[in-house]
Structure 1
Amino acid sequence: MPHILFADEALLVIDKPAGLLSVPGRGPGHADSLAGRIQAEYPDARIVHRLDMATSGLLVMARGPEMERRLSIAFQQRQVDKRYVAVVAGRPQPEQGEISLPLITDWPNRPRQKVDLESGKPSLTAYWVVDHDGATHTSRVELQPHTGRSHQLRVHMMSIGHPILGDDLYADPASRAVAPRLLLHATLLGLTHPGKGCRMEFTSPAPF
């Protein structure tokens, strides 16, 4: 069972391990998922957002249809604060900035996404370099997505020349091979409790 950080009558906050689907995929080989494991203990739990299979970290599930509706609206209206930690190739310059590149599904190469300046959906990511390792020429960065596009952080970092290490979809072969997993972790989640109205914040340190 994935580690549950918080549980009450309205929501669950879970620390998802890397390599586990958020929801079941297609085919019997992809039936295991975070949602399925949690629903075995909390049958009313419902997914309101997802993390990539390769990404670890904080994920919230609603309990029951009304809490699902309220939390879904909070995500749609960008009232949920999400922060990620990643290790990327190179050293982004400037060391703090925003990446605004529209994204669209790369249909012939699904599930890959790509930058499309004409047809892509607006996508915005803020980043900060936290630390740089001169020996390996890699950087630890914090990422804050202001939109919630599929693979947004992975594509945005690759698009500015600093792919996330271990990324088997977007990194160059050297950056892919240097890490045993995608070095991307959802480290902070801040939201308003959908029942009580109080602000809540959860953190999870990156396991890399």
Structure 2
Amino acid sequence: MNLPDLEPRLLYRDGLMLVLDKPAGIPVHAGPGGGPNIEQGFDALRFGLPRLPALAHRLDRDTSGCLIIGRHRKALRKLGELFRNGRIGKVYWAIVEGAPGEPEGTIDAPLLKRIGKANWRMDVDPAGQTAVTDWRTLGSAVGRTWLELRPRTGRTHQIRVHCKALGCPIVGDPVYGTPAEGERLLLHARAVTVPLYPSRDPITVEAPPPPHMLAALRACGYAT
């Protein structure tokens, strides 16, 4: 996948922060294999500032939606503090296999990174780091459910592992599920809420669902 022009994908911009609608299929930074990544397009997002902006957090390669970027060092320090203190709200949408036993709930399941010979993964383990996710059902179709997930912590692969722990792996997840051939991960960072300015209301930004999720969302009741 080629790197798209990032400026048209901006959802929000002010003096401290940018929020980008990240496309699925592109990593946010360079990996060992090289290839296109979101950081390569940051020169177009300077908007007159002398330094490049920088990532304030991460999204997986195949996750789409709201990606927060700090415009300079002072902004990155402030955003980093907000993330560390759990003050940035995040909302994800996922289409999962099956259906939870209840319409809503909370998953409190610590996560531990396990490294194998060829790869790594996150597992639920009492020895791991605290990880908590609130979830609720937004709609359903035959054999699938549309979930809203609000992570209280920011662990690697948290949403994906917690959905598996719920008994409902995310559709298209090649690590924690069993996707059909050619099936893409149906996970979207729908919204962020950032209390960036003490004297103003928190900034809430939403990203529209990506094209590859629309059919599954509409089957589950999404009507926009």
Normalised TM-score (structure 2) = 0.84
SS in 1 for 2:120: coil
Segment drifting more, 185-194 vs 36-45: 36-45
Q: Which residue in the other structure is 2:120 paired with?
A: 111
Structure 1 segments of 4 or more deviating over 3 A?
A: 194-198
Q: CA deviation at 1:39?
A: 3.3
- Where does structure 1 lack aligned partners over 5 or more consecutive residues? none
Are residue 206 (structure 1) and residue 214 (structure 2) matched? Answer: no
- Determine the structure 1 residue equivalent to 2:28: 22
Deviation at 1:159, TM superposition (A): 1.6
Separation (CA, whole Å) in 1 of partners of 2:149 and 2:140:
15
Quick one: distance in 1 between partners of 2:16 and 2:204? 15
Q: Which amino acid aligns with 2:80?
A: S
Distance across 2 between alignment mates of 1:73 and 1:193: 10
Counterpart position of 1:143: 149
After superposition, what is the alpha-carbon deviation per residue over 1:44-76, rounded to whole angstroms, capped at 9, x for unaligned? 301110100010000110011111000000011
User: Residue 186 of structure 1 aligns with which residue?
Assistant: 189
SS of residue paired to 1:177: coil
What CA deviation, in whole Å up to 9, does each residue of 1:75-124 have, x standing for no partner? 1101101000000001111120011111011111633111112x210100
Counterpart contact for 2:42–2:52, Cα < 8 Å: no
Q: Which residue of structure 2 lines up, in the alignment, with residue 78 of structure 1?
A: 86
**Counterpart in the other structure of 1:45:** 53
Distance 2:201 2:94 in 1: 29
Q: Which residue of 2 aligns with 1:120?
A: 128
Distance change >3 Å, CA 52–CA 99, structure 1 → 2 = same
Secondary structure (helix, strand or coil) at the match of 2:174 reads coil
Match in the other structure for 1:69: 77
State the distance in 2 between where 1:124 and 1:39 align: 36
- 1:150-169 to structure 2, matched below 5 A, reads 150-169=156-175
Q: Is the 8 A contact 1:165 1:179 kept in 2?
A: no
How far apart are residue 195 of structure 1 and its match? 8.3
- 1:66 and 1:104 mapped to 2: Cα distance? 32
Distance 1:159 1:149, change over 3 A: same
Q: Counterpart in 1 of 2:17?
A: 11
From the superposition, tell whether residues 26 and 10 of structure 1 become closer, same or farther in structure 2 (CA, over 3 Å).
same
Q: Is the 8 A contact 2:11 2:207 kept in 1?
A: no
Is there any run of 5+ residues in structure 2 with no aligned partner, and where?
214-224
What is the root-mean-square deviation of aligned Cα atoms in Å? 1.7
**One-letter code aligned to 1:97:** G
AA in 2 matched with 1:25 = G
Amino acid at match of 1:193: L
The structural deviation recorded for 1:202 is 0.5
Give me the whole-angstrom Cα distance separating, in 1, the residues matched to 2:187 and 2:23. Answer: 11
Q: Is the 8 A contact 1:165 1:178 kept in 2?
A: no
Task: Provide the C-alpha distance between the structure 2 equivalents of 1:196 and 1:13, rounded to a whole number of angstroms.
Answer: 20
Distance 1:22 1:195, change over 3 A: farther
1:33 aligns with 2:37: yes
